[in-house]
Every structure is written in structure tokens, then in C-alpha cells.
A and B are shown apart, each in its own frame.
Chain A
Amino acid sequence: MDLGRISRRHLLQGGAALTLGAAAGVRPTFAAETTIGFIYVGSRDDYGYNQAHAQGAAALKKIPGLKVVEEEKVPETDAVEKTIESMINLDGATLLFPTSFGYYNPHMIKMATKYPKLRFEHCGGLWTDKDPKNAGSYFGYIDEAQYISGIIAGYTSKSGKLGFVAAKPIPQVLRNINAFALGAKLANPKATTQVIFTGDWSMPVKEAEATNSLIDQGVDVLTCHVDGPKTMVENAARRGAFVCGYHTNQSPLAPKAYLTGAEWNWEALYPKFVKMIAAGESIPNFYRGGLKEEIVKTSPYGEAVSAEARKHADDIKAKFLSAEGYTIFKGGLVDNKGKTVIAAGTDRGQKDPELEKMDYLVEGVIGATS
């Protein structure tokens, strides 16, 4: 909706200024006022992906000397370049957070090349040496939290059939599906995870249909990777199935059906970034972390989670938090077409860039990537 863009933008700025005023005087200030731009692909309060980022942006607004400008519902097209240009030229933004996967290449790369003195931090992209040095990509290993969800789901499911409502078969989504399925198999080696792709990040009617179809197939625990999990959570709970959440904590929507969930922890990461810049340190261009680095977290367990499931999940979580860590994608991994995707003996640790190119579904997942 191009017509509403300018006015909405100014409205948000007004809101940002108010929040800033209310929370003044908490932390060390910046010498000169810095403006930070946040760009979201959907609505800021979608109970999901964008809301998680907006909570991170809200954490920045509390720091004196920082001005945050935000724009919602910017499509993954050259529209995002126009938004970046206007944030730079009209608002004076010097640090930009384009938060959606599709913004990265070519749009943000183009902008980073054009404005070499400004800093661009992209969520989810895969920064390589060929990309501009003033650009960076950060992301959380949320598959660690999905793995924990999978364990809980595997214990809770009576039918051994789990469901996954997914948007698009891109590497991050596939990695979550695979981690969830592997976690479930840890709890119940016979568990299967059926995936349905809806085709886009926000398709409420399709998500509801996918949820119903999965439950019709005998699935009794569901999770998802779409922008707003609200539709899946509410519709699954209505049919009497259990759910694991995603992006943020959805337990208020279905307190009895909610088992646990994989959540982002951007409100911890973004202030960390800003402090690094203020201290003159450079943010690594390729920034990643999981449960240990506090980039992701898990929702508190729901009442339906058994003691056995809690214990197993807590044990694995402790391993993730330990110094030596824990590997989800171990060697000898076979995909659901019978092909070996990770050879025996080569464990792929979380930081392995190969995992960010994932294009397969592991054994035990019902579905296809194309």
C-alpha cells in the first residue's frame, strides 16, 4: 500500500519519540544522536517474526541518544531500496536493519555499495567475502530451540505424527523443520514430521487449511515457520492438538495446548550491537549464535509436558549451553529420499556455513522441497 507509506512512517516516528521521552535516563548516552532504521516485511505486531524484531527495536529506543525509525510491510522488491534511501536521506539513519531474508541480495548489497560509510546489518543473509565490508549478516541458530521443541513434541505425541506448517522451502526454514524432526526422533525414533508449504510468509487461510489437513492425517502436535503463528496455534488448539510456538511466546493464545516454543531474543542482541559500535569495536560481518549466545531462547514448558520430556529436553539444553556445545546435524545423516547428505564422520557444527545452504529434508520428514 504505497499511498499510506509516508503518513504511517511519520506516525511511527511520533510513537518512537514518545517512547524515547518516557524512558529517558537509563543507560550511558551517545555523544551525537544516532539514527537507526528498522525495516520489516510484515506488521510489527503479528505475534511473530516482525514482532520479535520490533521488540528488539523497542529495547534500543530505551537507550538515550538513539533515535529509531521503523517501516512496516516493505515488500522484498526494490521497494526496500527506496525505503533504505529515504531512511538515509530523510531521517539521517547511519545504521540500518533490513530484517527480512529477501532484502539481502541484491537490494541491501546494492545500497551498502552505494553508501560505503553507513552500516547495514541484515537478519538471515549469508555474508561472504565478496560482499561489501560495511554490510553484515546476523542470525540465530533457532534450530537449537526447534530441536528442543521437537523433543517435547516427540514425547507428547500419541500418534507419533507431527506437523509443520512452513512458508517457503528456503534453507532457514528447512533447517528448522529438520532440527524439529531430529529432536522428535530423539524422543521417539518412529516419529514422523509432515510438512506443508503454504507458499508465502503470511497466508492465514492457507495456514488454517494446512493445520486442518495435517490434523485430518492424524497429526497431534504442530509447529510452524510462518510470519504469524497465531492462525496455526489457535486453529490447532481448537481441534484439540498440541502446539509448539515460533518467533515469540504464543502461550497466551492457547495456554492448555502450548507445549514450548522457539523464540528470538533480539532484545538482548540489538543493544549489544549498539554498545559494540559505541565502544568503537567492529561487529563481525558474519554474526551467529544460539541458545548459549542468548540470541534465541525457548518458551517455558506448558502443563501438558511430562516430567520425562522435561528432563530429556533440559539435559540437551544444558549440553547446548555447555562449553563444548552440542551438534544437531551429525554425520551419517540421510535425507528423506535416501541420499546421504552428511557423510559419516563429518559432524556439521552450528557455525558450519554448509548448513545455511540446506536444501534437503531429513529422513522422517514427509514432504518435498519443490
Chain B
Amino acid sequence: MADGSIGLWTVPLAVLGGAIRVSTPFLFVSLGECITERSGRINLGLEGTLVMGAMSAYGISYLTGSPWLGVLAAGITGALLGALHAGICSLPRVNDVAVGIALMLFGTGLAFYLGKPLIEPTAPRLPAIDFGWWSDIPQVRAALRVNVLFLIGVALAPILYWAFRTTRWGLLIRTAGESSDAARAMGHSVLLIRLRATMVGGFLAGIGGSFLSLFYPGSWNEGLSSGQGITAVALVIFARWDPLLCLWTSLAFGGAAALGPALQSVGVTSGYHLFNAAPYILTLAIMIITCSPKRTLTGAPAELSITR
């Protein structure tokens, strides 16, 4: 159209753009949690890791001027928090869910405390790749401005899927998750496998956080995560611990988050609270559809404290 508006096309485009923009943190956290849970442990602290990752990425990017160093710092922070979780959980009679909740509060609290002086300054952000070069429509170009982290996440899902099935490491993680006795009988330290799996999980969640503060929405403030880490952990359960399904559900959640504002922008203004709640309604719907009293969750690692 002549006036630069694309009318109702905004909605599908915003959902597509939202799926790309909003899904990346979900994707990284859920893939990380997928690895951790496959090894037989739940790390609920990833919300805290996500926020700590966002804060440290922003801080390092601001101090060094290099956003990629920020991403690395976020990953390392996440891995350290993962190591802390795994370390505490390797003590006898420690409940990993409780430790996770404690670390979630610790992570967010520490990030808010250390992040105070970072709210005002503006840090250099991650660059975007313009995949919309073929289009003359600025809206399409904007929706297709993709960050490399998103591409890495998308590539990581099939790689993990393949690695779980066919590599030695994948087998070891699955063995630790399905039967710790079997892993021990093979001569492997279950605690060490879980430590590594939790650290890798934390590393990925930290990088997910760096996307929040360095790309989209692209600044550090205390409401930044608004529960995305928790949602992503829940997402792993209905993705059936399958990295490929993690990818699809993350995209669906990203798109659902964009639905509310997009509908309002084209004039569907009634019931916007309902549309804003779309991601949560989606969660509930999937939970109801997939749960059954007659069978246990298919694909759940047998060693998880919630299934054991």
C-alpha cells in the first residue's frame, strides 16, 4: 500500500517475526535444560541463570565494547551457576528441585544487585543479519532481521538430536539419565556426567540471557526475563525431552508472545488481556492435551526426581 501500511498482513508477519525474535531465549534455555534432564537431573534455576546471563553479557559488552565477549561471559556465568547446582546436588540427600528454586532466587537477586549500575548505560549490541534483502517491504525486512544466535540455536537442535542418538557422549548422558546403576556398572561417574551436563545446560541458558540483553529487547532492566526461563524449563517437558520438539515449541511460544500486540495494532482491541495471555493458554492447552492418568510421560528420563 502507498502509505507504508500492510494492513492485516501485520498479524502473520508479526507472529513470524515474533517467532524469530522472541523464541531464541526459549530455545537456548530449553535445549540446555534438555541436556541436563537427559542426564537425570532437573535444574529449575535456569530462570536465574538466564537473568544472570543477560546481566553479565550487558556488563561485559558495556565494559569491553565487544558484544561477543559479553555472550561468552554470559555462557561462562551460566556454566558456573550450573556447576554450583550440580555441586550441591552431588551431596547426599539433596533434592535437585529445591536447589534449583534456591538458585533461581539467588541468580535473579544477584543479577539485580550487580546490575543496578547497568540500567542506565547503553552497551554495544549484537549485529543482525538481513535475510529480507529480497523484499521491498520494510516490514518484511524488519521481521527477517535475524541474529546469529538464533541460527546457532536452530542448528543446535538437530545436532543435539543426532548427538543423543549416535554419539558416545549422547549415550553416556542418556545412560546416566535412564539408569545410574548401568552407568556405574560401565565404570563411569554419574556425578561427573551430570556435572558436565548441568554446566553445558547452564552455558546455553546464559547465552539465551545474552540474547535478551544484547539483541532483543536489547537492554538490561529488571523486568527483562518476565519468567521466560521458567516457561522454557516447562517447555522441555511437553517437548518430551526431544531437542527437535524443543525447537518447534520455542518458535510457537515466540509467535504466541507477539500475537497480543500485533492484533491490537490492526484494530482487534477487545480482549487484549486474553491475547497477551496466549503463551500461558498454550502451555495449559498442551499440558491438558498431553497428560493422561493411564500412562507416564513418554520420553521422560527414568532417573529424574519427578518420575522416579
Contacts of A212 in B (CB 8 A): 14, 17, 21, 142, 261
Q: Is A356 part of the contact surface with B, judged by Cβ < 8 Å?
A: no
Contacts of A230 in B (CB 8 A): 119, 219, 221
Q: Is A4 part of the contact surface with B, judged by Cβ < 8 Å?
A: yes
Q: Report A299 CB to chain B, min CB distance, Å.
A: 16
Q: Is B265 part of the contact surface with A, judged by Cβ < 8 Å?
A: yes
- Within A108-158, the residues touching B (CB, 8 Å) are none
Complex partner residue of A206 from B4, B105, B142, B261, CB under 8 angstroms: B261
Interface residues, chain A, with chain B CB atoms under 8 Å away: 1, 3-4, 8, 42-43, 45-47, 73, 159, 161, 194-199, 202-210, 212-218, 228, 230-231, 234-235, 238-239, 252-253, 366-368, 370
Structural contact, A213 and B221, CB atoms closer than 8 A: no
Contacts of A47 in B (CB 8 A): 119-120, 221
Contacts of B119 in A (CB 8 A): 43, 45-47, 230
A207 to B265 alpha-carbon distance, docked (Å): 12
A215 to B22 alpha-carbon distance, docked (Å): 17
Contacts of B116 in A (CB 8 A): 45
A127 to B276 alpha-carbon distance, docked (Å): 32
Structural contact, A203 and B223, CB atoms closer than 8 A: yes
Structural contact, B223 and A202, CB atoms closer than 8 A: yes
A188 to B54 alpha-carbon distance, docked (Å): 42
Structural contact, A218 and B3, CB atoms closer than 8 A: yes
Q: Report B222 CB to chain A, min CB distance, Å.
A: 5
Q: Is B264 part of the contact surface with A, judged by Cβ < 8 Å?
A: yes
A201 to B109 alpha-carbon distance, docked (Å): 20
Among A208, A213, A231, A366, residue most surrounded by chain B Cβ atoms (within 10 Å): A213
Structural contact, B221 and A231, CB atoms closer than 8 A: yes
Structural contact, A196 and B265, CB atoms closer than 8 A: yes
Structural contact, A3 and B265, CB atoms closer than 8 A: no
Q: Is B149 part of the contact surface with A, judged by Cβ < 8 Å?
A: no
Would you call the interface of chain B mostly helix, strand, loop, or mixed? Answer: helix
Structural contact, A370 and B270, CB atoms closer than 8 A: yes
- Within B246-293, the residues touching A (CB, 8 Å) are 257-258, 260-262, 264-267, 269-270, 272-273, 276
Q: Report B300 CB to chain A, min CB distance, Å.
A: 30
Contacts of A1 in B (CB 8 A): 105, 108-109, 112
A1-B105, A3-B109, A207-B217 are contacts. A253–B122 as well, Cβ < 8 Å? yes
Q: Report A350 CB to chain B, min CB distance, Å.
A: 28
Among A47, A216, A228, residue most surrounded by chain B Cβ atoms (within 10 Å): A216
A197-B272, A199-B273, A367-B269 are contacts. A216–B109 as well, Cβ < 8 Å? no
Contacts of A215 in B (CB 8 A): 139, 142
A358 to B286 alpha-carbon distance, docked (Å): 40
- Within B1-33, the residues touching A (CB, 8 Å) are 3-6, 10, 13-14, 17-18, 21-22
Structural contact, B272 and A159, CB atoms closer than 8 A: no
Q: Is B161 part of the contact surface with A, judged by Cβ < 8 Å?
A: no
Given contacts A202-B223, A217-B265, A234-B219, 4 further A-B contacts (CB under 8 A): A42-B223, A197-B264, A202-B222, A207-B217
4 nearest A-B pairs in the assembled complex, by CB-CB distance: A368-B269, A202-B223, A213-B265, A218-B5
Contacts of A207 in B (CB 8 A): 217
Among A73, A217, A231, A239, residue most surrounded by chain B Cβ atoms (within 10 Å): A217
A251 to B260 alpha-carbon distance, docked (Å): 29
Structural contact, A159 and B4, CB atoms closer than 8 A: yes
A4-B109, A196-B261 are contacts. A213–B10 as well, Cβ < 8 Å? yes
Contacts of B170 in A (CB 8 A): none
Structural contact, A42 and B222, CB atoms closer than 8 A: yes
Structural contact, B221 and A209, CB atoms closer than 8 A: no
A189 to B299 alpha-carbon distance, docked (Å): 62
Structural contact, A231 and B217, CB atoms closer than 8 A: yes
Q: Is B304 part of the contact surface with A, judged by Cβ < 8 Å?
A: no
A1-B109, A45-B116 are contacts. A216–B223 as well, Cβ < 8 Å? no
Structural contact, A217 and B217, CB atoms closer than 8 A: no
Q: Report A84 CB to chain B, min CB distance, Å.
A: 22
A204 to B213 alpha-carbon distance, docked (Å): 10
A38 to B178 alpha-carbon distance, docked (Å): 54
Complex partner residue of B223 from A214, A228, A239, CB under 8 angstroms: A228
A73 to B116 alpha-carbon distance, docked (Å): 13
A198 to B264 alpha-carbon distance, docked (Å): 10
Contacts of A194 in B (CB 8 A): 265
Contacts of A205 in B (CB 8 A): 22, 216-217, 226, 228, 257
Structural contact, A366 and B261, CB atoms closer than 8 A: no
Structural contact, B261 and A210, CB atoms closer than 8 A: yes
Structural contact, A46 and B221, CB atoms closer than 8 A: yes
Q: Is B171 part of the contact surface with A, judged by Cβ < 8 Å?
A: no
Q: Is B218 part of the contact surface with A, judged by Cβ < 8 Å?
A: yes
A253 to B119 alpha-carbon distance, docked (Å): 11
Structural contact, A203 and B14, CB atoms closer than 8 A: no
Residue of A nearest to B13 (CB): A216
Q: Is B224 part of the contact surface with A, judged by Cβ < 8 Å?
A: yes
A73 to B112 alpha-carbon distance, docked (Å): 11
Q: Report B128 CB to chain A, min CB distance, Å.
A: 9
A87 to B6 alpha-carbon distance, docked (Å): 54
A73 to B108 alpha-carbon distance, docked (Å): 14
Residue of A nearest to B137 (CB): A216
Q: List 30 A-B contacts (CB under 8 A).
A: A1-B108, A4-B109, A42-B222, A45-B119, A47-B119, A73-B222, A194-B265, A195-B264, A198-B261, A199-B260, A202-B223, A203-B223, A204-B223, A204-B226, A205-B216, A205-B257, A207-B217, A208-B217, A209-B14, A209-B18, A209-B21, A212-B261, A213-B10, A213-B258, A216-B13, A216-B142, A228-B223, A230-B119, A231-B221, A367-B264
